[in-house]
């Protein structure tokens, strides 16, 4: 018991208290019960100005003189609320207990006829002790500490439920509130919209200032006209187009960054008022035009009326966007066809490489004594692994692609200043009649899935058709030996060279770049595989391979050198031969002039490359010549052997023959007169 009697400092029940409530606590001297007396004085409440607009809010005004007694029950934690009969008659359908520092809901006896109950600005943690108020249609628990929605299952007549600014984390236990018209859950900790699909009569749903990241699961809310989702973390919206009566949608201050994440809004025929301000999308220049062109029925955007001029501008922008979309669709078709063609070329290349590998392996087993100079032997170990894009495609694009041909075995593409050739069949394009403008524009030529030996055969055409080509790219071309780079010397000029490691084992050689710089030094190359060529690189290349060119030119006989060189090189070579012995000054001056005319060093010109096709054409001829030479040498050896045998026999017989010759000569001249007569007789007989 609390001895004595306490009256609040707020004084008597007057009309000058802003909160509209006077509290009187008193205890009876009777020991059998404690009595706590509340005196409420309610002027026009500020509550309707803060709440959602609703018809029942007018019931909050013009209330005075509520006098309520809370009597402690047998359970000390729940006080019992009692009002006098006069107050029940005067304010029979409403009860306000706001700002009373309540931590629990009191037990309300004899008030089953209540229709409006207000617990604003208290400390209530759980909804309870109101299950008997089955006629209640308006329940306000704004600004409390409620963590779970509960205790409402019997309130089947409830139409307005205000639970804003609490600690609720989940929407639940609303199954029996099928007559609910307004549900306010703003300022809570809700992360997901759920358990509201059965509220077919709900017209207003307020979920502002929660923790929502997406909007969905709204089916069944057939009467919803207003949805407030301000100040959340929403990135995309779904199911809004399934709300047939929705007119106002507030999405301000969320994380929506593109229209695609809210594209379902365009399918809503009833939506007339929407807000996106405070979202990243609202900062984009195309924001307003995009929204208006997709939602032509809007009357207000971001709380501003949409004008006819804005609609007209949006329509113009929509037409331009449609044209861009068609062009983008066309480009997507071309891009996808290119991808399919390249994949087809890659598969064909893989099969070809497997076949070449098998043939080369069998040939190596049969001809283990084949010449080491066979420049066309390939290890065949590189298999193409061209990546296929498997990303999802637009359904319209997928349907259009069904008519594309995927049997093409080559592709020719000019994009900007780059000519890209895929597959050996693409080399035939060099025979086309290219326009002067297109041919002059091409500065980069890319070869992919083409044998380097086939490329070598068209290099003269490339030099003529595309005179400004300065950059060559090779990917999956079977560059397997340094000798193959010799073939590039026949071009007019190369500033950059890119050799992709994929399908080109030659890049695994440590010194391949230096060999390229040495062999193609007359081009003064600037970059190799994107790396700048320095003067030190040129010096190192000369040191490593300079002796190679000297040996190649000095060890070959003159007729062989002349057969290798072209006409210009032949003139230069003869010139060098003829200038031997001239004065150094004259030779150097003339030699410099010759270099400027010819370009490539004669010694380096000895380093050439023979393609597989040329080698195959000459192989039989080489074999015949080899056979002829073998037979000729065998005949020479046989004849030399016979001569040697005769010489040996002569050496054995010569001593005896010499003795006999000397003896016969001595005998003949022993008688001088007889010998003279014999000689005269022989002369006479000859006449």
The tokens describing 369, both together, are 């004594």
| C-alpha–C-alpha distance, residues 594 and 571, integer Å | 9
pLDDT of residue 592: 44
Percent of the chain with pLDDT over 70: 72
pLDDT of residue 681: 86
| C-alpha–C-alpha distance, residues 50 and 581, integer Å | 112
pLDDT of residue 403: 45
| C-alpha–C-alpha distance, residues 52 and 206, integer Å | 9
**DSSP summary character for residue 143:** S
The full DSSP string for 285-299 is TTHHHHHHHH-TT-S
Flag residues of the chain having pLDDT under 50: 1-67, 72-76, 369-393, 397, 400-405, 567-568, 571, 580-599
Helix 308-366, helix 287-294: angle, nearest 10: 100
Tell me how crowded residue 476 is: count the other CB atoms within 10 A of its CB.
25
pLDDT of residue 361: 63
Q: What does DSSP say about strands 248-250 and 273-275: parallel, antiparallel, or unpaired?
A: parallel
Do 606 and 561 form a contact (C-beta atoms < 8 A)? yes
The tokens describing 411, both together, are 């592709």
| C-alpha–C-alpha distance, residues 396 and 318, integer Å | 20
Q: What does DSSP say about strands 411-415 and 35-40: parallel, antiparallel, or unpaired?
A: unpaired
| C-alpha–C-alpha distance, residues 50 and 142, integer Å | 11
The full DSSP string for 434-471 is --HHHHHH--EEEEES--HHHHHHHHHHHHHH-TT--E
Question: Residue 106: which of 92, 90, 87, 122 has the closest Cα?
Answer: 122
| C-alpha–C-alpha distance, residues 450 and 33, integer Å | 104
Do 211 and 235 form a contact (C-beta atoms < 8 A)? no
| C-alpha–C-alpha distance, residues 448 and 647, integer Å | 68
The tokens describing 463, both together, are 């030099």
**Rg of the chain in Å (alpha carbons):** 53
The tokens describing 513, both together, are 């770049």
pLDDT of residue 384: 37
Helices (H), 367-499: 395-401, 436-441, 452-465
Residues paired with residue 411 on neighbouring β-strands, in sequence order: 422
Strands in 507-617 per DSSP E: 527-528, 531-532
3-state secondary structure of 334: helix
Tell me how crowded residue 69 is: count the other CB atoms within 10 A of its CB.
18
The tokens describing 441, both together, are 């524009």
Do 69 and 93 form a contact (C-beta atoms < 8 A)? no
| C-alpha–C-alpha distance, residues 443 and 441, integer Å | 6
**DSSP summary character for residue 283:** G
Do 527 and 533 form a contact (C-beta atoms < 8 A)? yes
Q: Would you list the domain boundaries of the chain?
A: 411-567, 624-685
Tell me how crowded residue 391 is: count the other CB atoms within 10 A of its CB.
4
pLDDT of residue 26: 31
Do 297 and 272 form a contact (C-beta atoms < 8 A)? yes
pLDDT of residue 35: 35
pLDDT of residue 612: 65
pLDDT of residue 553: 66
CATH architecture of 411-567: Alpha-Beta Horseshoe (3.80)
The tokens describing 41, both together, are 């004085």
| C-alpha–C-alpha distance, residues 235 and 232, integer Å | 9
**CA 347 to the chain's CA centroid:** 23
pLDDT of residue 599: 46
Do 70 and 82 form a contact (C-beta atoms < 8 A)? yes
- pLDDT tens digits for 339-371? 888 888 888 888 888 776 666 566 555 555 443
The tokens describing 57, both together, are 């809010």
Do 181 and 158 form a contact (C-beta atoms < 8 A)? no
pLDDT of residue 24: 32
| C-alpha–C-alpha distance, residues 277 and 498, integer Å | 51
Does this model's pTM top 0.75? Answer: no
- pLDDT tens digits for 641-680? 999 999 988 888 888 888 888 888 888 777 778 888 888 8
| C-alpha–C-alpha distance, residues 394 and 660, integer Å | 115
| C-alpha–C-alpha distance, residues 119 and 123, integer Å | 9
Do 68 and 81 form a contact (C-beta atoms < 8 A)? yes
């Amino acid at each position: 018991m609390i001895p004595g009697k306490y009256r609040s400092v707020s004084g008597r029940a007057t009309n000058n208290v802003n909160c509209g409530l006077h509290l009187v606590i008193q205890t009876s001297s009777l020991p059998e019960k404690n009595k706590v007396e509340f005196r409420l004085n309610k002027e026009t409440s500020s509550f309707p100005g803060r709440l959602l607009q609703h018809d029942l809010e007018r019931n909050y005004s013009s209330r005075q003189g509520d006098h309520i007694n809370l009597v402690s029950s047998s359970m000390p934690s729940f006080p019992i609320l009692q009002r006098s009969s006069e107050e029940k008659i005067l304010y029979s359908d409403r009860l306000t207990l706001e700002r009373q520092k309540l931590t629990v809901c009191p037990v309300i006896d004899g008030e089953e006829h209540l229709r409006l109950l207000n617990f604003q600005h208290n400390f209530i943690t759980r909804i309870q002790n109101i299950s008997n108020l089955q006629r209640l249609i308006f329940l306000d628990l704004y600004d409390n500490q409620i963590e779970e929605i509960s205790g409402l299952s019997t309130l089947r007549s409830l139409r307005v439920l205000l639970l804003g600014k609490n600690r609720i984390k989940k929407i639940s236990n609303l199954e029996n509130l099928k007559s609910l018209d307004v549900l306010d859950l703003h300022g809570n900790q809700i992360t997901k919209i759920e358990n509201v699909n059965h509220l077919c009569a709900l017209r207003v749903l307020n979920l502002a200032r929660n923790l929502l990241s997406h909007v969905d699961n709204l089916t069944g809310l057939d009467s919803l006209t207003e949805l407030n989702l301000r100040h959340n973390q929403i990135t995309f919206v779904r199911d809004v187009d399934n709300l047939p009566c929705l007119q106002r949608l507030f999405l301000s201050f969320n994380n929506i960054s593109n229209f695609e994440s809210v594209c379902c809004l365009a399918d809503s025929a009833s939506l007339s008022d929407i807000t996106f301000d405070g979202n990243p999308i609202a900062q984009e220049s195309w924001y307003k035009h995009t929204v208006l062109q997709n939602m032509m029925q809007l009357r207000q955007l971001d709380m501003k009326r949409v004008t006819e001029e804005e609609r007209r501008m949006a329509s113009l922008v929509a037409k331009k966007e449609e044209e861009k979309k068609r062009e983008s669709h066309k480009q997507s078709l071309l891009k996808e066809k290119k991808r399919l063609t390249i994949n087809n070329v890659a598969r064909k290349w893989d099969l070809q490489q497997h076949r070449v590998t098998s043939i080369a392996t069998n040939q190596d087993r049969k001809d283990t004594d084949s010449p080491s100079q066979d420049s066309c032997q390939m290890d065949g170990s590189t298999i193409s692994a061209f990546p296929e894009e498997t990303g999802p495609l637009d359904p319209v694009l997928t349907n259009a692609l069904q008519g594309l041909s995927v049997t093409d075995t080559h592709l020719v593409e000019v994009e900007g200043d780059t000519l890209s050739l895929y597959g050996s069949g693409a080399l035939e394009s060099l025979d086309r009649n290219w326009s002067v403008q297109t041919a002059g524009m091409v500065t980069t030529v890319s070869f992919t899935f083409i044998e380097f030996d086939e490329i070598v055969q068209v290099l003269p055409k490339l030099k003529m058709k595309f005179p400004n080509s300065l950059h060559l790219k090779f990917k999956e071309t079977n560059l397997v030996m340094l000798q193959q780079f010799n073939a590039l010397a026949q071009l007019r000029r190369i500033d950059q060279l890119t050799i992709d490691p994929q399908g080109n084992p030659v890049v695994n050689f440590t010194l391949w770049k230096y060999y390229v710089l040495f062999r193609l030094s007359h081009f003064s190359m600037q970059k190799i595989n994107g790396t700048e060529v320095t003067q030190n690189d040129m010096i190192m290349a000369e040191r490593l391979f300079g002796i190679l060119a000297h040996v190649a030119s000095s060890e070959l006989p003159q007729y062989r050198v002349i057969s290798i060189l072209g006409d210009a090189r032949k003139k230069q070579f003869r010139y060098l031969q003829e200038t031997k012995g001239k004065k150094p000054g004259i030779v150097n001056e003339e030699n410099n002039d010759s270099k400027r005319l010819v370009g490539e060093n004669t010694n380096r010109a000895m380093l050439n490359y023979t393609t597989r096709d040329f080698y195959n054409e000459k192989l039989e001829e080489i074999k015949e010549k080899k056979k002829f030479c073998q037979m000729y040498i065998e005949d020479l050896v046989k004849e030399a052997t016979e001569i040697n045998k005769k010489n040996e026999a002569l050496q054995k017989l010569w001593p005896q023959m010499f003795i006999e010759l000397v003896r016969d000569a001595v005998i003949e001249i022993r008688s001088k007169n007889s010998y003279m007569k014999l000689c005269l007789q022989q002369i006479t007989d000859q006449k």
